[in-house]
Chains A and B, each alone.
Chain A
Amino acid sequence: MAETSAPRKGSILLVEDDEFLRSLVVRALGDVGYQVEIAKDGEEALAHVGHQVPDLILLDLVLPGFSGFELIAKLRQNDVTAKVPFIVLSNSAESQNKKQADDLGAVGYLVKAQSTPSDVAKFVEAYFVAHPHA
């Protein structure tokens, strides 16, 4: 089963409004070979997903316009995007948000202040190892 070429890395959409934090996550994921598309809010995320469905979404919850949860609800309404897996990356650590993320089928919930960009990259790597994309 030896692969001669490295398997394609999964495509990631990062939805984050804070430019500095966004650049650090892009950089950490870039260091382990991921190409990351970015969206500054839910509108941009919807536009991006309409154009190309990513293998994974990294999602902030508190966003300008509509919230991260509202974005997921909108994606769920469309057959093409209904099953996009997402990881919450937020600074709200309340249990009701964690529960809501769980109910919506989040594959992970990372509290920004309690992790680092390299933790995020490790989590993403582990996710793709456990769920190889097509």
Chain B
Amino acid sequence: MNSAVLAVFGVFVLVMLAGVLWIMRLSRRIAILTADQEERRKALKSTSKLLIDKNMELFDQNVRQQKQLASKEDFIGIVSHQLRTPATEVKWGLEALKGEMAGHAKGLELEYFEKLRHSAERMVSLIDSLVRLMNVDEQFRRVSIPAYDPNTVIKRVAEEAAAKFAQKHITLTLAFDATGAIESMDSDSLELIAENLIENAYEYTPDGGAITVATARDGAGIFSCSVADTGIGISAEKLKTVFVKFQRSETAMRMNSGGMGLGLYLVKNIVERHSGTVSLTTEEGKGSTFSFTLPVARTVIA
């Protein structure tokens, strides 16, 4: 009986001891876990603080960029206004002068007068090109561009030019095979490109010639557009300089045309900045085909 009590007591003590030991280990583990948790909490706190800071930084950056964009647009507005005002004075002044000269101006006076008027017109159109190029630059920085049908834009430009084409009896053919929308380039920039290519074709195509404007889209999502003319063409050695700023080939110079040379440079510049390519096939005396390609999807801004 005694030994049985002793045995039970012994087991009890052992169980208690084991329990205490277990509780001690458990509390140690809890302490470790708590410390661990505290550490994690701290880490989490500093991470979230970092995230908040980053967020604030990005927000600030965004605000700064928006401000820069707005001030750049203001800047373009002011510059274009300031440049146009004296050009207007020259142009309008010349018109008034013409009224005054009517009937009694001599040969050389009339010749000088026409030169001045032509220069005033060029000045106005150069300012327009410059301003539009600056705007292309701004559009390029925009995060997204609403999708639109490129055919509609190019068709509008071609139809506007058609009235002028009739004066030189130039046949205009449109072959718009491109399908779907593009969102890689804003519509103003595409319009500027189409205007320049069509204007260029018109300048160098003689009376009774033909101009074909075509668009296509391949399976890889590349949009292409070509403007083919039956104009004077460009010689092999002059080919290299075609897209170079402000240059025109000598053949073209002999035509005594009013083209500015700036147009093709603009086209190349804008297309390439939008991850596209420009190309030219030509034969002197036979005609030229200017083409460009563009990815239809928006590409990452460099």
Q: Which residues of A contact B (CB under 8 A)?
A: 18, 20-21, 24, 27, 62, 90-94, 97, 111-114, 116-118
The interface on chain B, measured as residues whose beta carbon lies within 8 A of the other chain's beta carbons, has a size of 19
What's the count of A-B pairs with C-beta under 8 Å? 53
**Residue contacts A-B, CB under 8 angstroms, 22 given:** A18-B89, A20-B89, A21-B89, A24-B95, A24-B96, A62-B81, A91-B80, A91-B85, A91-B88, A92-B81, A93-B131, A94-B76, A94-B80, A97-B77, A112-B85, A113-B85, A113-B124, A116-B91, A116-B92, A116-B95, A117-B92, A117-B95
B148-162 CB contacts (< 8 Å) to partner A:
none
Q: Lowest 4 CB-CB distances: which A-B pairs, in order?
A: A91-B84, A113-B84, A112-B88, A113-B88
Beta-carbon contacts under 8 Å, B78-132 to A: 80-81, 84-85, 87-89, 91-93, 95-96, 124, 127-128, 131
A21 to B88, CA, bound (A): 8
| Bound-complex Cα distance A20 to B85 (A) | 11
Say how far B290's CB is from chain A's closest CB, in angstroms: 26
Bound complex: CA of A95 vs CA of B200, how far in Å? 25
Residue in A21, A62, A93 whose CB lies within 8 Å of B92: A21
Where the two chains meet, the residues of B that have a C-beta atom closer than 8 Å to any C-beta of A are: 73, 76-77, 80-81, 84-85, 87-89, 91-93, 95-96, 124, 127-128, 131
Q: What would 17 more interface pairs be, CB under 8 Å, given A111-B84, A113-B84, A113-B124? A: A18-B85, A18-B89, A20-B89, A20-B93, A21-B92, A24-B92, A27-B96, A62-B81, A93-B80, A93-B128, A94-B73, A94-B80, A97-B77, A112-B92, A113-B85, A113-B88, A116-B95
